[in-house]
Amino acid sequence: MRLRSLTAVTAVIALMVAACDDGNGGVDLGDAGEDDPAIEDGTDDVDDEAEPAAEGGTLRAAIGGDPDQLDAHTTTSSFAFTVLENVYDTLVQPGEDLTMEPALAESWETSEDLLTWTFTLREGVTFHDGSELDAGDVVASFERIAEEGDNAFRLEAVEEFNAPDELTVELVLNRPAPNLLEQIGPFKGMAIAPAEAIEAGTMQDDPIGTGPFEFVSFSPGDSVTLERFDDYWGGDVALDGIEFQVVPDEGTKLTSLQTGEVDWIDSVPPEQVEELGADDQIELDQVAGNDYWYIALNQDREPFDDPAVRRAIAFALDIDVITEAARFDAATPNETAIPETSFWYHDYEPYGHDPDQARQLLEDAGVTDLTVDLMVTNEFPETVTFAQVMEAQLGEVGIDVQIRTEDFTTWLADQGDGEFDAFGLSWLGNIDPDDYYYAQHHSEGSFNFHGFADPETDELLDSARVETDEDDRKELYDQAAERIVDLASYIYLYNPDIVQAWSPDVQGYTTRPDQATRFVDTSLAS
Amino acid sequence: MARFVLRRTAQSLVALLGVSIVVFALIHLVPGDPIRAALGTRFDPEVYELLRERSGLDQPLVVQYVDWLGRAVQGDLGVSFRSGAPVTTVLAARIPPTAVLAVASLVVGIVVAIPAGIIAAVRQGKAADYLATGFSQVGVSIPDFWYGIMLILIFSVTLGWLPPLGYTEFGEDPVDFARRLILPAVTAGVVTGAILTRFVRSSVLEALNADHVRLARAKGLPERYILRHHVLRNAWIPIVTVTGLQLGTLLGGIVIVEVVFAWPGLGRLALDAVERRDYPVLQGAVLFMAGAFLVINLLVDLLYAKLDPRIAVR
């Protein structure tokens, strides 16, 4: 009897804690950008009551490679972004459901013609050097990004950056861009840095942001150290600091987590997921990610310029088996690009696994003795694995696959020069459908390395990009997706899960589908 | 003596120049280029051309080399394509960990190899000899990453005595410095020790069978005395040579050991630089390795004279 009431009390406490946790989930303004991005209340709704655990401590986090350099606007290293996610802020940022929420901008409005966006900045935000954030910093940051090349495409639609007053930023567009928030929000390549630092050219050596942690030191190849920023605009931060340790070997990384040498690791190889899941000394989080893996056929070469031949290959492949071989259970097969967890997902599976259909299509197209030079890279070992499965599956319909494994730099050069019949790779972390399709499948797209050119797809992608009604926009993208899949511009394979692991002492961290590694709400139990 | 050092230094500089030319040519011959690597899959022809121009890669190779050499003699090795940091700074950060690991591994190797090799030679054909040659065989045939993984499993995972990874500067925390150094140093030291054991054994054996040793025996000198004064003195020369070569190799960075133990050394730097075609860093790293090799060889030559008065340094 006593035992039972004790259990009840425990359950009630657990519920209270859970409720408390929800409140602590960061800035929760819900519907930003859902129906009408023009109106946004954007009050400063940071929940100060949900107190962070007071233990403090330094989180030791293992990352799989060297960040190269820490200039947010120019680095291309994903490891740099794992670090910088905690140092910088953007105007808006994706919430848990990946819709854009206020961050440095507390609200925004768009003009009737959707060509002018006006952002109101949060008041009293300070940079790590003590200076205050104003509109000039935002303009300076955007101007640098637009000049520096690498992320300039995200600001392609923006003609002018204006700062009418201290806390107002105005972006003037040359075409409606319904996805502008998704361009400037989801990653720290769009970081807002102090105008002085940009002028002085010190962003690389001394990254100064507005985020929950400030930069202390970077020892290349070894570690990056951050410490808590006490004047963070988002409220109290529990951790004293974070030490990112570079651990290139996957085995050593896992071991170091198991031995307590580190508290958190940035990834878990798919083949280890099952074993680690059974280890109660380790917390494992696995969420469906936004990336997708695919193969592309060179449409500037015969016979891959014939959609029927590409479709034959799509019919011959069994993506369930490919997914299982390449990722064990840590992925979801998908015949389109966008994962089913997304608002933009379109349920469309015309292929399945149908070798008879494949043979028939090849016969009708008059193609016999087909050899495919399939280029993969050992930089991403799963491309080598899935190529081997493809070799067997395509062999069944009489296609001879020649696997060519290159180191990544050579691979990139060959891709750029069109030296391939087929290649397999992935695209990372997208949120807006324009990012999934335009650059890859528009005939003028900058990442259309495989020579896909279809006027109807171009038209769909061009009009979807400027369509402001969300439902109409989704309809257009659904059509575009069907067209792209039917013509087998890419043959899509799967969306991989994001798998991260940490010690049970780490609290308040969740693995996010966009792979943003935010430790702002994290604490360490001692 | 001074003239000898001068002459050897001049020779070394010529050798370094040769190395730099060969490396420069080789890394530019490998397919793939650094700008493409930096841009990754987000490739844009305009950005590409712009970056090529900015980094001087659009110039003819000879112009690039002369340019590089002109700045190199002034101590400027250029900037890394990946990080934009000066190559000298990048190297300066990686050399201490590598040097520490190289010296520690060599010490482990010597501590194992000298007694093992001498005992094996003296007790040739006996159990101790088989044990030592067995160790040596196994040591060189099994790859170092395997020892690394085994040592981590035993001393970090099972016993929990030593950390499996990382590097701490001596000045920061000497105890932690030592704890983190042990496993990688033993891993690389086993292989070094195995190689050295064979040389020590064969050098000592050779010296043991020399005429003057037989004469000493015939004179009835005690075995211990013969070993110390007649055998080892002559055996040192080849041992010192090989040990020097080993140190040179270790200073080049022990890539696999550095990867397994997350050791921030030169080997990993060079590997990353190759993968990303970071020419300036690769060029700088190889130059340092070659330079270290030449300096050690010079020191070994000087040491010969100390060990054997018959060799005069001129």
Domain covering B95-268 in this structure, CATH number: 1.10.3720.10
- A281 φ/ψ angles, rounded to the nearest 5 degrees: -90, 5
Q: What is the pLDDT of residue B298?
A: 85
**pLDDT > 70? residue A8:** no
Predicted confidence (pLDDT) at residue A115 exceeds the cutoff of 60: yes
Contact across the interface for B268 and A259, Cβ inside 8 Å: no
For residue A15, the model assigns a pLDDT of 36
- The confidence band for A126, taking pLDDT boundaries of 50, 70 and 90, is very high
The residue with greater pLDDT, B165 or A45, is B165
Of A66, A149, A256, which has the smallest distance from its Cβ to B272's Cβ?
A: A66
Q: Tens digit of pLDDT for each residue in A476-501?
A: 999 999 999 999 999 999 999 999 99
User: Are A149 and B50 within 8 A, CB to CB?
Assistant: yes
Q: What is the pLDDT of residue B41?
A: 67
Which chain A residues touch B if contact means CB-CB below 8 Å?
66, 68-69, 71, 74, 76, 149-150, 152-153, 204, 219-223, 245-249, 251-252, 255-256, 258-259, 261, 379, 407-413, 415-416, 425, 427, 446-447, 449
The pLDDT score that the predictor gives to residue B73 is 87
Residues of A within 8 A of B157 (CB-CB) are 255, 258-259
Give pLDDT, residue A5.
38
Facing residue for B90 by CB, picked from A150, A220, A413: A220
How far away is chain B from the Cα of A87, in angstroms, using its nearest Cα? 19
At residue A55, the pLDDT reads: 59
Kindly list the residues from chain B whose CB atom is less than 8 angstroms away from the CB atom of residue A427: 41
pLDDT tens-digit series, residues B209-256: 888 888 888 888 888 888 888 888 788 888 888 888 888 888 877 888
CB-based contact A251 B260, cutoff 8 Å: yes
pLDDT digit string, tens, across residues A68-93: 889 999 887 889 999 999 999 999 99
Q: Which of A74, A249, A295 to mutate to test the interface with B (most CBs of B within 10 A)?
A: A249
Compute the average pLDDT of residues B118-147.
Answer: 88
Contacts of A507 (CB under 8 A, 6+ apart): A53, A522, A523, A524, A525
Instruction: Answer whether residue B314 shows pLDDT above 90.
Output: no
Q: Do B40 and A76 touch (CB under 8 A)?
A: yes
What is the 3 state secondary structure string of chain B?
CHHHHHHHHHHHHHHHHHHHHHHHHHHHHCCCCHHHHHHCCCCCHHHHHHHHHHCCCCCCHHHHHHHHHHHHCCCCCCECCCCCCEHHHHHHHHHHHHHHHHHHHHHHHHHHHHHHHHHHHHCCCCHHHHHHHHHHHHHHHCCHHHHHHHHHHHHHHHCCCCCCCCCCCCCCCHHHHHHHHHHHHHHHHHHHHHHHHHHHHHHHHHHHCCHHHHHHHHCCCCHHHHHHHHHHHHHHHHHHHHHHHHHHHHHCCCHHHHHHCCCCCHHHHHHHHHHHCCHHHHHHHHHHHHHHHHHHHHHHHHHHHHHCCCCCCC
d(CA A247, CA A253): 6
**pLDDT tens track for A395-448:** 999 999 999 999 888 888 888 889 999 999 998 767 899 989 998 999 998 889
CB contact under 8 A, A220 and B85: yes
pLDDT for residue B204 is more than 70:
yes
- Strands A116-121 and A105-110, sheet pairing: antiparallel
- Per-residue pLDDT at A142 exceeds 80: yes
pLDDT of residue A13: 37
- Read off the pLDDT band of A24 (50, 70, 90): very low
A100-102 and A105-110: which strand pairing? unpaired
Residue A245's pLDDT is 94
Q: Is ipTM > 0.85 here?
A: no
- What mean pLDDT comes out for the span B155-171? 88
Helix (H) or strand (E) holding A241: strand A241-246
* Nearest residue of B to residue A414, measured between CA atoms: B32
pLDDT value for A272: 87
**Which fold, A292-497?**
Dipeptide-binding Protein; domain 3 (3.10.105)
Q: Do A252 and B260 touch (CB under 8 A)?
A: yes
Which pLDDT belongs to residue B37? 75
pLDDT at B46: 75
Answer yes or no: do A259 and B163 touch at CB < 8 A. yes
To the nearest whole angstrom, how far is the Cα of B305 from the nearest Cα of chain A? 41
Q: In chain B, where are the structural domains located?
A: 95-268
| Predicted pLDDT of residue B54 | 76
Q: Which of A110-114, A251-255, A477-481, B79-83 has the lowest mean pLDDT?
A: B79-83
A261/B262 Cβ within 8 A? no
The residues of chain A that CATH labels 3.90.76.10 are 10-48+71-76+88-204
Kindly list the distances between the CA atom of residue A380 and the CA atoms of A293, A449, B124, in Å, as whole numbers in the listed order: 11, 19, 51
Percent of chain A with pLDDT over 70: 89
Please compute the mean of the pLDDT values over residues A333-361 and round it to a whole number: 93
The CA distance from B297 to B245, in Å, is 8
Could A449 and B43 be called an inter-chain contact, meaning their C-beta atoms sit closer than 8 Å?
yes
Residue B140: predicted pLDDT: 86
* pTM as predicted: 0.80
CA nearest A218 in B: which residue? B93
Type of residue found at B255 = V
How much is the pLDDT for A405? 94
CB A412 to CB B269 under 8 A? no
Which CATH code for domain A10-48+71-76+88-204? Answer: 3.90.76.10
CA distance A108 to chain B (A): 30
Distance from CA of A439 to the nearest CA of B (A): 9
Q: Kindly report the average pLDDT of chain B as a whole number.
A: 86
Taking an 8 Å cut-off on Cβ atoms, the answer to whether A413 and B33 are in contact is: yes
pLDDT band, very low/low/confident/very high, at B80 (cuts 50, 70, 90): confident
> If residue A462 lies in a helix (H) or strand (E), which one and from where to where?
helix A455-466
Please name the member of B33, B37, B149 whose beta carbon is closest to the beta carbon of A251.
Answer: B149
| Average pLDDT across chain A, whole number | 86
Query: Which of B85, B97, B164 is opposite residue A69, by nearest beta carbon?
Result: B85
CA distance A345 to A63: 31
